[in-house]
Structure formats: structure tokens, C-alpha cells
Amino acid sequence: MWAFLLGTVPLAAESFCPLGGWTQLQAPATGFFTVREIEGVWWWIDPHGHAFLSKGVNHITFQGDPSPALGYSPYPPGN
């Protein structure tokens, strides 16, 4: 079942519901976005009960992105 995460199983558009959830991995539908543990792995679950992966920016700051190993931000300041 987890082969799709490794890129070994091609996914067809029909494998996804209108909310973007993967229809091959089902949990009880609650009508809300939730998280649920399935076979020892925690998944985001869409309102229809389909598992999905979420990837995106979770934090933005004007102070830069400091590197603890360097002790400063290795990126040049913006213009």
C-alpha cells in the first residue's frame, strides 16, 4: 500500500477525490479535516475520509532564517 510514497506506483487522477484526498486509503468521514493513525502512520484526513499529504510553508519571519551551526543567517539581506 505504501509503494506510491516511494514513486513506484503511478497515480491516476481518478485516485483522488474533489478535495484532493487519496481514495485508496479510507478513514471514517467526519465532515471536517482531521488526523488519524492508520496502520501506525498518522495521516491528514479530508472531510470525505480520504488520506492526503500536505506540504507548504508554515512560517515566515522578517528576521531571516538563522543557522544554529553558523550562528547567523547565511542568506543576504533583501533589497
How far, in Å, CA of 59 to CA of 3, rounded?
31
pLDDT tens digit sequence for 13-69? 778 888 888 888 889 999 999 999 988 989 999 999 999 887 787 777 776 677 788
How far, in Å, CA of 48 to CA of 43, rounded?
14
The closest alpha carbon to 35, from 54, 20, 17, belongs to 54
Strand stretches in the chain, DSSP E: 22-26, 34-38, 41-45, 50-52
**pLDDT at site 49:** 95
* Rounded to 5°, angle at Cα 59 from 56 and 63: 140
How far, in Å, CA of 62 to CA of 77, rounded?
10
